[in-house]
Structures are given as structure tokens and as C-alpha cells.
């Protein structure tokens, strides 16, 4: 059961974890309760409803931003590593294309981790925007689809990229103009990504943009509300 | 469900149940769940309960009291009592209209 509770955002857990665990100890959850908890966790990420209490808000908010920042930096690093790894793979002469294999999996992991970072950012650095919720949801779904076979993989990739452009624009408008713009532009350029040639290196500026985005999550500035 | 509950989406109905449950005194999460289940006959899921509690607290309709061990009781605020009274009055009017129309149709 604790695994399901861990699906909730860190700030939410800081506020409600004790009493929710106590409740679940009194009332062992049914399958329906478990599904309800999963639905509640998704809602908590997309629509943070925490009461703002100056004396208590700082620590939970910072733990949430810390998670977002670490995930963004790791995700950005995975993008860079994946791009470099794919660039280094030689083309298979008999097939006429590269067998990307494990390197492609690094990029799938990069998409999932950065989507999680965006979700955490949406609950900490940028709060209260429905557009943020929609962007991170599409980003997450797109990232998950890239783990599927063709053509879902391509659909997922472009959904992820378009949602990242939107997310970058929201960050630019509400948290950091420079970093948000950098992410949006890098995501637009990523539409030219190709595993077969030098364009695999386009993953590098995109990864750097995520690392830069991670840096704003570490700031101890209060959460801002997107339009 | 009408304003201000309408903006709560799927949490509107559970929020009303919670306010009614708290109207006769503070309760913690498990007590609210049990009370709501007794009142409505339908269980309130833990994710829905805390989603609704967070929204009600955010809007100042309920407030959290100091925890007792790991349990934190909640109580209705003045604004919560006013909102609940208005909501119940609205529902009462709705029910009365429905019953009157139903009675007229039967005649």
C-alpha cells in the first residue's frame, strides 16, 4: 500500500501521508480503494490543492522542487548520453540503417524522466495552470508511447516534443523567460532528430535545456502561478 | 451541483458529504469515511476523500486541527457552515419542486 501512497507528489505526502497511512491501517484498502488512490495521485500532481501556510510551506515545497530539479538534470543527462551513443553506432551495411538497441532505450528513459520532472515542476515551481497540467499529461503519455512499437513510437515522440514546446512556453511566461525559451526552441529543433546521421547530436542542446530547467527548480523562490 | 461546488468537478458531491459529516463536530479521515458511508450507503475512496479535503481546506470551508497521534481532525469553518446551509437550502428547494411536479403528474 505504501507504494501507492508514494505516487503522490512529495509536498502532498508531507502534508497528508501520516493521516492517510493511519486511515489505511484502520480500513484495509479494497481494489476499488487502490484504484481510487491512483486516481487521487494523478489528480494531486495535476491539480495541487495544498493549503499555503508560510511557516510549513517552505520545506514541502523545497522537497518537491528538489525532486523536480534532480529529475530534470538526470533526464537532460540521459538525452545527451543517448544522442552521443546513437551517433557512435555504425550503420549496419546489410540492413542499411543503425541498430540503435540499448541507446534508443536511453532516450526512452530520458523522455520518461524529463516528463516526470515536468510533472513535479508543475506541482512546485509552476502551479495552478490547467495548461501546465495538460502539457505534462501529454508529455507523460507521449513518453510512454515511445516504448511501444512503430508507429505508436513516432506518435509518442511527436506528442512528447509538442508538449515540451508548450511546457517551455509556459515556463518562459511564468518562471524563467530564458530557460523556458531555450527548452521550447530546443524541442522545436528536436523535430529534426534523426538516428542515422549527425542530427542525432540534436539531443545534446535539448538535454542541456533540461539541465538548465533543473537549475531553476533548486532556487528557493516561491512557487509562481502560470496564466 | 451548483456554485461553489460546481467548480470542484468530480469532488463536488464528496465535498458536500464531508461538510455534512463535519456539521455535528470535528472528525478525522476514517471517521468521515465511516460517517459518509452510513449516510449515503456508498463508500468514499481514500483518494477521493483526501482530494476533497484538500480542496475544502484550500477554500477555507474546513480547517485542520492539531493532530492526535497520526490522526488529524478537521472541523467546519464559519464559511463552511454558511456554504453548507446555502447548498442544503438549494437542494431542499430542488427536492420540493421535484416532489411537487411528481405529485402533479400522478394526479
Put simply, whether B15 touches A (Cβ < 8 Å) is no
Dihedral sign computed on CA atoms, order A21, A22, A28, A33: negative
A67 and A40 share one domain = no
Beta strand pairing call for A126-127 and A224-225: parallel
A179 and A69 share one domain = yes
A41 and A71 share one domain = no
From chain A, the residues in CB contact with B58 under 8 A are 49-51
Looking up cell 428547494 gives: B93
Does residue A223 lie in a domain region? no
Q: Do A32 and B43 touch (CB under 8 A)?
A: yes
A88 and A133 share one domain = yes
Q: Which domain holds residue A36?
A: 2-46
Put simply, whether B98 touches A (Cβ < 8 Å) is no
A158 and A182 share one domain = yes
From chain B, the residues in CB contact with A26 under 8 A are 30
Put simply, whether B70 touches A (Cβ < 8 Å) is yes
The CA distance from B1 to the nearest CA of chain A, in Å, is 20
Q: Is A213 left (phi over 0), alpha (psi -120 to 50) or beta?
A: alpha
Phi, psi of A28 (to 5 degrees): -50, 130
Nearest one of A43, A69, A56 to A15, comparing CA atoms: A56
A9 and A111 share one domain = no
| Under 8 Å between Cβ of A43 and A98 | no
Which residues have a Cβ under 8 Å from the Cβ of A138 and sit 6 or more positions away? Answer: A159, A160, A162, A163, A166
Does residue A154 lie in a domain region? yes
How many CB atoms lie under 10 A from the CB of residue A49? Answer: 22
A18 and A125 share one domain = no
Q: Do B47 and A37 touch (CB under 8 A)?
A: yes
Average pLDDT score, chain B: 87
Give the number of domains in chain A.
2
Does residue A36 lie in a domain region? yes
Does residue A225 lie in a domain region? no
The stretch B15-29 carries a mean pLDDT of 94
Dihedral sign computed on CA atoms, order B58, B62, B66, B68: negative
The CA distance from A115 to the nearest CA of chain B, in Å, is 23
Does residue A207 lie in a domain region? yes
A42 and A69 share one domain = no
Nearest one of A40, A34, A31, A36 to A12, comparing CA atoms: A40
Does residue A226 lie in a domain region? no
| Under 8 Å between Cβ of A46 and A137 | yes
**Prior bond of A151 cis (ω within 30°):** yes
Does residue A166 lie in a domain region? yes
Q: Do B48 and A38 touch (CB under 8 A)?
A: no
- List the single residue in B with minimal CA-CA distance to A23: B30
Does residue A103 lie in a domain region? yes
pLDDT per position in chain A (227 positions), as tens? 557 888 888 888 888 888 888 888 888 888 889 889 988 888 888 777 665 554 444 444 566 778 888 999 999 999 999 889 888 888 877 877 777 778 888 999 999 999 988 888 876 666 555 678 788 889 989 988 888 888 888 899 999 999 999 999 888 877 788 888 999 999 999 988 888 888 888 899 999 999 998 888 776 444 444 43
Q: Which residue, among B54, B63, B79, B80, would best test binding to A if mutated, counting the most A CBs under 10 Å from its CB? A: B54
Amino acid at each position: 500500500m505504501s507504494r501507492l501512497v508514494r505516487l503522490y507528489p512529495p509536498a502532498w505526502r508531507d502534508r497528508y501521508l501520516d493521516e492517510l497511512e493511519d486511515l489505511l491501517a484502520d480500513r484495509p484498502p479494497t481494489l476499488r480503494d487502490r484504484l481510487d488512490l491512483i486516481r487521487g495521485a494523478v489528480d494531486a500532481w495535476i491539480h495541487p490543492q495544498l493549503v499555503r501556510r508560510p511557516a510549513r510551506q517552505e520545506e514541502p515545497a523545497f522537497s518537491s522542487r528538489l525532486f523536480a530539479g534532480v529529475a530534470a538534470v538526470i533526464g537532460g543527462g540521459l538525452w545527451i548520453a543517448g544522442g552521443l551513443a546513437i551517433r557512435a553506432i555504425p550503420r549496419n551495411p546489410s540492413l542499411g540503417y543503425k541498430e540503435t538497441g540499448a541507446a534508443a532505450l536511453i532516450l526512452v528513459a530520458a523522455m520518461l524522466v524529463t516528463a516526470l520532472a515536468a510533472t513535479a515542476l508543475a506541482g512546485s515551481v509552476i502551479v495552478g495552470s490547467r495548461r501546465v497540467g495538460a502539457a505534462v499529461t501529454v508529455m507523460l503519455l507521449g513518453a510512454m508511447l515511445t516504448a511501444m512499437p512503430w508507429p505508436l513510437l513516432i506518435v509518442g515522440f511527436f506528442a512528447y516534443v509538442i508538449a515540451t514546446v508548450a511546457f517551455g512556453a509556459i515556463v518562459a511566461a511564468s518562471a524563467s523567460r530564458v530557460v523556458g525559451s531555450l527548452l521550447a526552441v530546443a524541442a522545436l529543433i528536436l523535430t529534426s532528430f534523426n538516428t542515422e546521421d549527425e542530427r542525432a547530436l540534436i539531443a545534446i542542446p535539448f538535454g542541456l535545456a533540461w539541465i538548465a530547467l533543473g537549475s531553476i527548480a533548486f532556487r528557493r523562490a516561491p512557487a509562481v502561478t502560470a496564466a | 451541483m451548483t456554485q461553489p461546488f460546481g467548480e470542484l468537478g468530480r469532488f463536488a458531491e464528496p465535498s458536500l458529504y464531508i461538510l455534512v459529516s463535519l456539521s455535528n463536530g470535528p472528525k478525522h479521515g476514517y471517521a468521515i469515511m465511516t460517517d459518509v458511508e452510513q449516510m449515503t450507503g456508498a463508500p468514499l475512496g481514500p483518494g477521493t476523500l483526501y482530494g476533497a479535503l484538500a480542496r475544502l481546506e484550500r477554500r477555507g470551508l474546513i480547517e485542520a486541527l492539531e493532530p492526535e497521534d497520526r490522526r488529524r481532525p478537521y472541523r467546519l469553518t464559519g464559511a463552511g457552515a454558511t456554504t453548507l446551509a446555502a447548498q442544503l437550502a438549494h437542494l431542499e428547494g430542488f427536492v420540493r419542486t421535484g416532489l411537487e411536479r411528481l405529485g402533479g403528474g400522478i394526479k
